[in-house]
């Protein structure tokens, strides 16, 4: 759905609640505590602009009696933003090839505080994270790139310090990117072993760390960038380099440098958009994932990560 369709089909609170209910419980409402399907509904309609429509569910299981709403226990949890704005944000982010900054979101959606827009953006990125999945197959290009982090006064990180991001992409298929601690043989070969099917052909540049890849995949093609060789028949890494250029234009153009702490979520956003580039229902998928994932409290988001590798 694009923003026009959202205005037409998801313009009222009632429409938004009904749509989200369908995404969250495609087979009928289930109690979020006991999983029971005997549920009664308590509804209020929107009387005026101040009072939004609400729908509460009451579990009828005598030992449970849980009362909940369509957003309880999901990434929407505790949000004061109307669902309509959440949906517009999802549509804008899934359609923005280079991503969308909190500032842009704030402007487009008429959100009062920058923090609210920033938090909204990160919850949408969280929804886009895809863990696991089938191994990548066929011809898979593997490469790594350096992303410069934002200067952080508290942690005294120098502006030129960079983070390494590794990427793997199936030609004509899916991409997976991730932050890695070092571009060592152990890390890169381990990552390929974990994410790429052993029958695949992997294409890389001449970096020494990739040398032992032929022990974990069927074929390993190497293009020698140092010798100014870019393409030798099927042997090249142009697909992953295209993905890097998009990611970097996003970081420079939309986000104006991002914090290393949140980098994984930005990578998830880029992967999600890339992997669903031909998916006509990318918006519905994004909303389903917002409804399927547990809340991400603000304090958790801004708090220090449990482990800081840098």
In the complex, which residues of this chain contact Zn ion (CB under 5 A)?
Answer: 31, 33-34, 36, 59, 61, 64, 66
Instruction: Output 62 or 132, the one with its CB closest to Zn ion.
Output: 62
Q: How far is the CB of 291 from Zn ion (least distance, A)?
A: 18
Report d(CA 83, CA 17) in Å as an integer: 8
Calculate the CA dihedral of residues 155, 159, 160, 163 and round it to 10 degrees.
50
Instruction: Output 66 or 193, the one with its CB closest to Zn ion.
Output: 66
Task: Name residue, tokens 């089938």.
Answer: 134
* Residue 40 burial (10 A CB sphere; 0-12, 13-18, 19+): exposed
CA angle 104-288-248, nearest 5°? 40
**199, 182 contact by CB (below 8 A):** no
**223, 232 contact by CB (below 8 A):** yes
Q: How far is the CB of 71 from Zn ion (least distance, A)?
A: 17
Q: How far is the CB of 222 from Zn ion (least distance, A)?
A: 58
Instruction: Output 29 or 136, the one with its CB closest to Zn ion.
Output: 29
Q: Which residues contact 14 (CB under 8 A, 6 or more apart)?
A: 45, 46, 53
Q: How far is the CB of 184 from Zn ion (least distance, A)?
A: 50
How many separate helices (H) and strands (E) can be counted in the chain? 10, 8
Q: How far is the CB of 65 from Zn ion (least distance, A)?
A: 7
Instruction: Output 34 or 164, the one with its CB closest to Zn ion.
Output: 34
Instruction: Output 12 or 72, the one with its CB closest to Zn ion.
Output: 72
């Amino acid at each position: 759905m694009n923003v026009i369709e959202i205005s037409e089909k998801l313009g009222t609170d009632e429409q938004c609640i009904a749509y989200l209910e369908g995404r969250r419980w495609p087979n009928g409402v289930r109690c979020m505590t006991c999983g029971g399907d005997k549920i009664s509904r308590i509804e209020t309609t929107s009387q005026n602009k101040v009072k939004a429509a609400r729908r509460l569910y009451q579990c009828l299981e005598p030992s449970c009696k849980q009362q909940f709403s369509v957003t309880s226990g999901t990434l929407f949890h505790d949000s004061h933003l109307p669902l309509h704005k959440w949906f517009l944000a999802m549509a804008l982010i899934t359609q923005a090839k280079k991503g969308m900054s909190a500032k842009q979101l704030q402007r487009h959606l008429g959100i009062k505080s920058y923090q609210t827009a920033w938090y909204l953006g990160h919850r949408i990125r969280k929804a886009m994270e895809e863990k696991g999945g089938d191994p990548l197959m066929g011809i898979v290009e593997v490469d790594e790139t350096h992303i410069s982090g934002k200067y952080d006064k508290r942690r005294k990180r120098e502006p030129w310090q960079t983070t390494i991001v590794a990427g793997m992409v199936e030609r004509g298929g899916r991409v997976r990117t991730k932050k890695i601690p070092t571009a060592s043989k152990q890390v890169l070969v381990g990552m390929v072993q974990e994410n790429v099917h052993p029958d695949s052909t992997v294409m890389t540049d001449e970096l020494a760390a990739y040398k032992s890849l032929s022990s974990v995949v069927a074929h390993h093609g190497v293009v020698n960038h140092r010798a100014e060789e870019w393409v030798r028949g099927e042997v090249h890494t142009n697909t992953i380099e295209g993905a890097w250029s998009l990611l970097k234009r996003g970081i420079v153009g939309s986000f104006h440098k991002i914090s290393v702490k949140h980098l994984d979520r930005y990578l998830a956003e880029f992967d999600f958009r890339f992997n669903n580039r031909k998916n006509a229902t990318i918006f519905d998928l994004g909303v389903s994932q917002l409804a399927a994932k547990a809340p991400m409290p603000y304090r958790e988001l801004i708090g220090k990560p449990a482990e800081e590798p840098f």
